[in-house]
Structure 1
């Protein structure tokens, strides 16, 4: 009996039905629980997975258990593929390429299984340049994959103030360049838009041919309530940027982008859809 109970505890569901902001996908896939990038604005901070842990969000991460052959995931994956319509958002509540991935290689092992039996579409959402390590697997997925690289600002001082544990911006720009040179479909995710310079739209237009923009008021999955609970307005005030904390800021940014990019500029949910 005890063995059966332990076995149940070890069972992991990898593919979870997508809903809410990610309606349009069949599944979300989170290789890790927790995220040590710990961005100050992360909406997951207001979700049960973060609220009921003894340690603050950003200070812990758990790799989901995957046996050496990935048998559990492969079984679940094959069942989903057999049903059809497999569109996956990886990841919705963690970064699949956070520092733990260097040693765990969990995301890579999942991609290996996906490459053997490709989905209809996979979006890889990350802010980590580690994603370029897996260019070989991403190439195998061809136009069935898109890497969405978060670059919320072009100001390193803002990055350090609001997301101090996230990768430097220069490394993310290099990753975008390497991905595109390798032929991997790639977009920039200015999500959420943080205080930036007037040159930021031009930098985006030069780097990518697809970009999605979002803000704290329409993109946190709660109409701005989670962002308010995270006291983002106060964080802006501390930076002397309180005037930018308004929906009009992102609207103006999108307008500037569209003046530079005749197509490929999206706002909010539509930019993340398959």
Structure 2
């Protein structure tokens, strides 16, 4: 897939935390758009995408001079009270262009020098391991949340063919654990998985967040229905996995290997 990259000069970077992210004072997006192009991404139905006039996943805006802007905004925000940041709400901060542009790393460098009260880094990219040195500087003020929607690579390829392989994400969680970086596995959105999925996660994390389209797309599942995601399940003959109660199957499996206090459901798993 061809990706159009544009550079932008943003006026602001920190946005007020609202809705699903109302537990945070701010959200922070190093890019606009996302080349992972996941079929189920709720951002497809948000104004940032619908007004673009181009298919989601085919364009990415790179926010130049982001570090200098964040440095100023962070100081102002901290003067007003506690600052908790969710990075990122409408893009992946570690999508492929980050290898070259290092916008996300520049923002982390600012925050390592002037830490917020808490930072959650939400990604599905193994590239996050590059910044372990900065996460260690942030200490217990950071948590890396790695999306691992399934343990089945054929399922991953069906729903998000441009996203990183599951094995690379699991390896990254292992490296984060070895380095002592706080991390969680985000089964979000939950896709069909095997019975052994929880056992794969158990050695890697002591915190799992489980979410689905109905709890987590910000509209009770309406955005997801508009994207005809159900047809992707029908193609596989796995319609039973596309149901508001389907998450309970995975929840019960998780409880077999994780203490219940280490399992979080939907919004609570992403809270500061």
Q: Do 1:138 and 1:145's aligned partners in 2 also have CA atoms closer than 8 Å?
A: yes
Task: Give the Cα–Cα distance (whole angstroms) in 2 for the partners of residues 160 and 115 of structure 1.
Answer: 35
Cα-to-partner distance string for 1:141-173 (whole Å, 9 max, x where unaligned): 000000000000000001111000000011001
Residue 110 (structure 1) shift: 0.4
TM-score normalised by structure 2 residue count: 0.94
Task: Give the Cα–Cα distance (whole angstroms) in 2 for the partners of residues 11 and 127 of structure 1.
Answer: 25
The aligned runs of 1:151-190 (5 Å cut-off) are 151-190=148-187
Partner of residue 216, structure 2: 219
Runs in 1 of length 4+ with deviation above 6 angstroms? Answer: none
Q: Is 2:74 the partner of 1:87?
A: no
Partner of residue 63, structure 1: 62
Match of 1:238 among 235, 240, 243: 235
Task: Give the Cα–Cα distance (whole angstroms) in 2 for the partners of residues 53 and 193 of structure 1.
Answer: 28
Partner of residue 98, structure 1: 95
Number of equivalenced pairs? 264
Task: Give the Cα–Cα distance (whole angstroms) in 1 for the partners of residues 168 and 215 of structure 2.
Answer: 28
Task: Give the Cα–Cα distance (whole angstroms) in 2 for the partners of residues 98 and 21 of structure 1.
Answer: 22
Partner of residue 72, structure 2: 75
Residue 11 (structure 1) shift: 4.4
In structure 2, the gaps of 5 or more residues are 1-7
Residue 216 (structure 1) shift: 1.3
Higher Rg: 1
Task: Give the Cα–Cα distance (whole angstroms) in 1 for the partners of residues 155 and 267 of structure 2.
Answer: 25
In structure 1, the gaps of 5 or more residues are 1-8
Match of 1:256 among 237, 253, 261: 253
Task: Give the Cα–Cα distance (whole angstroms) in 2 for the partners of residues 118 and 104 of structure 1.
Answer: 22
Residue 259 (structure 1) shift: 2.5
Q: Do 1:38 and 1:163's aligned partners in 2 also have CA atoms closer than 8 Å?
A: yes
Task: Give the Cα–Cα distance (whole angstroms) in 2 for the partners of residues 178 and 202 of structure 1.
Answer: 17
Q: Do 2:147 and 2:187's aligned partners in 1 also have CA atoms closer than 8 Å?
A: yes
Deviates more, 1:252-261 or 1:185-194: 252-261
